[in-house]
Structure formats: C-alpha cells, structure tokens
C-alpha cells in the first residue's frame, strides 16, 4: 500500500510532521479552527460533547473563556487558568494538542466585546484559515452567537439534557458535586478545590447571596 493509500485509510494518523500528510489531514476537516465561546463555570458533559463534535469537524478548537478577569465571585468561581486545567484533564494527550484557549474579559458592550473576541482569535490562527463558530442557542442569553456572521455557524441541538451550570454551581456551594453532570476530570477538580480556603469563602458568599467579588 502506497503512502497516499495509507493516509486515505487513516492508518497514518494526523499530526505527523510530513507536509504532505499535513495537507491530507487538513482535507478531512471542514474547518481549520472552530471557536467555542463559554464561561465553563464549571465544565460539564454538554461542554465536553460540544468539543468532541468540534474535534470531528475541525483541525483545532479554540475555547474562548469568558469572564477571564482575575476576580472571583459566586457566578465565576474559577480563574481562566483553573478552567484550562479542568477542561484539559478530561481529554487525551492527543486531543489536548488540538485545543487552544483565549481569555476574554467581560466587556459590557456588544461591539467592543465582539472585536475583542475576534482580535484574540486572530492571534492564534493562521492567515487565510477557515474559522467557524460552534454553539447552541439555548435561550436569549445565546444571542452573542449571532455577532459573528463572518464565521460559519455549527449550530447544535440541545445536548445532554440541556445542562445548565447555574444549578450545578449552587449544588456545589451546598457541598454536592453532581457527578452525573460532569466528566471525571471535572469531578476530580471540584473535589480537590473544596479543600481550598477559597471554596469556603465562596460558600459564605453564596449563603449570604452576596454577588460581589472575593476580597
């Protein structure tokens, strides 16, 4: 069997450095990059399913981590670097090489926020790369997906019972890790984080319905 036949049969995996093989690997994907925007507070099974779908359609997946400022509060308990760790812990080393991150701070102006996201993405993609956007219009809060008309949209149906992170966070502050909603890596991260004094500070804020940042 010649080299081309081996590649076509996928007996030679993508990622090998030979330029010819790189070209073939690129051909099997619809996109060079798919952007997935979210806060991932915390990262749950629907998030993971979305990334797996994205990895089937794109060479690389860019996770735009929202609310990436350094302040913590009960809505945004985990820093961007912690979310990176949480997310990557659920993927194989091979898949991790195809996942990139950009950190998007909160900007309360749609036009400025859209420009920020596009600017951050442009810093990690090659010129002329085909970039798409993947996501799910779950409710009115998903309107931001329509702010990027130049990126082809991969719209998903509701995944894994339309999981919402809000009740999962609330359960977490009550001491429960809802194992059925999380991949293993996230569950392990959350259990470990409970031993951090920051967790207790967040619990205290939750019990007081205090939405201000930790001091």
**Mean pLDDT score, 110-137:** 95
76 band by pLDDT with thresholds 50, 70 and 90: very high
All domains in the chain, ordered by first residue: 30-207 (3.40.50.620)
Task: Give the model's pLDDT for residue 133.
Answer: 97
The full length of the chain comes to 215
Pairing of strands 152-155, 131-135: parallel
143 band by pLDDT with thresholds 50, 70 and 90: confident
Task: Give the model's pLDDT for residue 139.
Answer: 65
37 pLDDT above the threshold of 80: yes
Q: What is the mean pLDDT of the chain?
A: 88
42 pLDDT above the threshold of 50: yes
Task: Give the model's pLDDT for residue 1.
Answer: 39
Around 37, how many Cα atoms within 13 Å sit in the side-chain half-sphere?
28
Task: Give the model's pLDDT for residue 8.
Answer: 36
Task: Give the model's pLDDT for residue 115.
Answer: 97
Rounded CA separation 21/9 (Å): 12
At 90, is the secondary structure helix, strand, or coil?
coil
Task: Give the model's pLDDT for residue 215.
Answer: 81
Task: Give the model's pLDDT for residue 62.
Answer: 98
**Mean pLDDT score, 159-165:** 70
Task: Give the model's pLDDT for residue 31.
Answer: 97
3 pLDDT above the threshold of 80: no
Contacts of 77 (CB under 8 A, 6+ apart): 41, 169, 198, 202
**Mean pLDDT score, 25-45:** 89
| Positive/negative CA dihedral, 194, 198, 201, 203 | negative
Confidence (pTM): 0.84
Tokens at residue 45, please? 């099974």
């Amino acid at each position: 069997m010649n080299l081309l036949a081996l590649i076509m049969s996928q007996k030679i995996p993508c990622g090998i450095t030979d330029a010819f093989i790189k070209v073939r690997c690129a051909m099997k994907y619809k996109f060079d990059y798919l952007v997935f925007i979210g806060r991932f507070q915390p990262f749950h099974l629907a998030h993971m399913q979305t990334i797996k779908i994205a990895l089937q359609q794109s060479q690389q997946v860019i996770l735009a981590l929202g609310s990436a400022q350094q302040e913590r509060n009960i809505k945004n308990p985990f820093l961007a670097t912690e979310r990176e760790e949480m997310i990557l812990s659920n993927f194989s080393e091979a898949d991790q090489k195809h996942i990139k991150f950009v950190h998007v701070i909160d900007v309360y102006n749609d036009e400025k926020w859209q420009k920020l996201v596009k600017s951050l993405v442009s810093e990690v993609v090659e010129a002329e790369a085909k970039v798409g956007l993947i996501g799910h219009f779950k409710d009115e809060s998903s309107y931001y997906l329509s702010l990027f008309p130049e990126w082809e949209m991969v719209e998903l149906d509701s995944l894994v019972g339309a999981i919402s992170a809000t009740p999962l966070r609330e359960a977490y502050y009550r001491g429960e890790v809802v194992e059925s909603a999380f991949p293993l890596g996230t569950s392990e991260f959350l259990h470990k984080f409970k031993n951090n004094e920051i967790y207790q500070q967040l619990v205290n804020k939750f019990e007081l319905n205090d939405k201000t940042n930790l001091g």
